[in-house]
């Protein structure tokens, strides 16, 4: 829950960011709005704190998002990302991740098994190969050749949830999300899902990263939006960046994150741009997506942030230049 002090601080930050945007247009150099980091879902304040350690020292946004995303990847309690992620219908934990920097460099891994930190492998794909995407066994072989350790990512508790699911084996992404949400709140846990993280560093550069175990109980080999550049994540240092969470099939259909960034390019604020993407998706898919959740977060180069989701319940975590955490609930369409 956001308290009043934090809310006021955030409102002041937002007002400051608007002012800074005006200064930017007037050619006045920016400083106060950065650094900052924002992530999908409230529990990722912990991930933001790790990113902040880098940003606060004047480090690079790229390093910050990598470090930040590694936090839920290593957390066995987080059943949507990395170690402890829920498996596919065959009981295999397959991970998707990507990373993108301010120069348009990007790397991605899809359907990667046995590696706790897919975001690090994605960064290596970006930096050490002439490619953007590696998938499945190829991604695993690349990771092993680069010193990553092969591990069992299926925790006892995720295995138990999978075995319970096997009894009915009913698969529907909307249902699965609802089921997981109920399970988590029954355990007194906050809602937690795929992490998409965007950071703006002190130099004025933006980077982003995204990591997920994808939809629980998916078909083996299924890949969602999260590791797809332009769908789950997009960065353009002249404009801003966006990332998505929720049912990836819906995000892919509208090239979600790219759509948000392009809307910002043509004058929308981050929140308006996220709303435009959700509206476009809903127009296309009305009647088929009411039981699903999709959310976007975005940041522009002036340091303004925003979010929007299809339905109620999407939260995001921010750390602004004053170094304090703010958790917000996104506005929603239906």
Q: Give the footprint of ligand SD4 on this chain (CB under 6 A).
A: 80, 193-194, 212, 214-215, 224-226, 245-248
> What Å distances lie between residue 217 and 173, 243, 251, CA to CA?
9, 23, 19
Residue in 27, 80, 74 with CA at minimum distance from that of residue 50: 74
- Select 239 or 257, whichever has its Cβ closest to ligand SD4: 257
Least Å from the CB of residue 278 to ligand SD4: 14
Torsion of CA 45, 13, 303, 224, to 10 degrees: 40
- Cβ atoms of 72 and 47 within 8 Å: the answer is yes
Task: Determine which one of 40, 94, 176, 194 is catalytic.
Answer: 194
- Helix, strand, coil percent content, the chain, rounded in steps of 5: 40, 20, 40
Least Å from the CB of residue 250 to ligand SD4: 8
- Select 193 or 262, whichever has its Cβ closest to ligand SD4: 193
Residue in 93, 67, 90 with CA at minimum distance from that of residue 80: 93
Least Å from the CB of residue 213 to ligand SD4: 8
Least Å from the CB of residue 243 to ligand SD4: 10
- Select 33 or 71, whichever has its Cβ closest to ligand SD4: 71
- Select 78 or 101, whichever has its Cβ closest to ligand SD4: 78
Compute the distance between CA of residue 38 and CA of residue 270 in angstroms, rounded to an integer.
12
Burial label for 25, CB within 10 Å (0-12, 13-18, 19+), is exposed
Least Å from the CB of residue 267 to ligand SD4: 28
Least Å from the CB of residue 249 to ligand SD4: 7
> What Å distances lie between residue 204 and 6, 81, 300, 324, CA to CA?
25, 29, 10, 19
Side-chain-side CA neighbours of 209 within 13 Å: the count stands at 32
- Cβ atoms of 70 and 117 within 8 Å: the answer is yes
- Select 107 or 246, whichever has its Cβ closest to ligand SD4: 246
Least Å from the CB of residue 287 to ligand SD4: 20
Q: Annotated catalytic, 40?
A: no
- Select 94 or 269, whichever has its Cβ closest to ligand SD4: 94
Residue in 105, 100, 125 with CA at minimum distance from that of residue 115: 125
Token output for 310:
């299809």
For 91, the 3-state DSSP assignment is coil
- Select 82 or 248, whichever has its Cβ closest to ligand SD4: 248
Compute the distance between CA of residue 307 and CA of residue 275 in angstroms, rounded to an integer.
8
What amino acid positions are annotated as catalytic residues? Answer: 194
């Amino acid at each position: 829950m956001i308290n009043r002090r934090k809310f006021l601080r955030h409102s002041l930050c937002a007002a400051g960011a608007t002012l800074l945007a005006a200064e930017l247009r007037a050619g006045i150099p920016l400083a106060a709005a950065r650094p900052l980091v924002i992530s999908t879902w409230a529990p990722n304040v912990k991930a933001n704190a790790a990113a902040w350690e880098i940003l606060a020292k004047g480090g690079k946004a790229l390093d910050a998002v990598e470090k930040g995303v590694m936090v839920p990847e290593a957390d066995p309690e987080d059943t949507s990302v990395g170690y402890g992620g829920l498996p596919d219908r065959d009981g295999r934990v397959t991970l998707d991740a990507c990373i993108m920097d301010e120069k348009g460099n990007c790397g991605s891994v899809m359907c990667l098994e046995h590696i706790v930190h897919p975001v690090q492998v994605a960064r290596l794909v970006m930096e050490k190969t002439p490619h953007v995407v590696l998938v499945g066994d190829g991604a695993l072989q690349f990771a092993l050749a680069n010193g990553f350790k092969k591990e069992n990512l299926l925790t006892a508790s995720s295995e138990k949830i999978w075995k319970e699911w096997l009894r009915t084996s009913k698969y529907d992404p909307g249902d699965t999300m609802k089921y997981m949400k109920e399970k988590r709140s029954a355990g007194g846990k906050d809602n937690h899902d795929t992490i998409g993280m965007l950071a703006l560093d002190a130099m004025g550069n933006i980077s982003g990263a995204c990591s997920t175990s994808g939809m629980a109980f998916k078909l083996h080999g299924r890949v969602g939006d999260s590791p797809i550049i332009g769908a789950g994540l997009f960065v353009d240092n002249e404009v801003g960046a966006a990332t998505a969470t929720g049912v990836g099939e819906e995000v892919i259909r509208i090239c979600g994150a790219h759509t948000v960034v392009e809307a910002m390019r043509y004058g929308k604020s981050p929140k308006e741009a996220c709303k435009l993407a959700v509206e476009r998706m809903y127009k296309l898919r009305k009647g088929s997506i009411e039981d699903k959740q999709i959310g976007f977060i975005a940041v522009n180069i002036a340091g303004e942030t925003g979010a929007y989701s299809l339905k109620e319940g999407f939260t995001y975590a921010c750390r602004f230049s004053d170094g304090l955490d703010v958790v917000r609930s996104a506005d929603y369409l239906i």
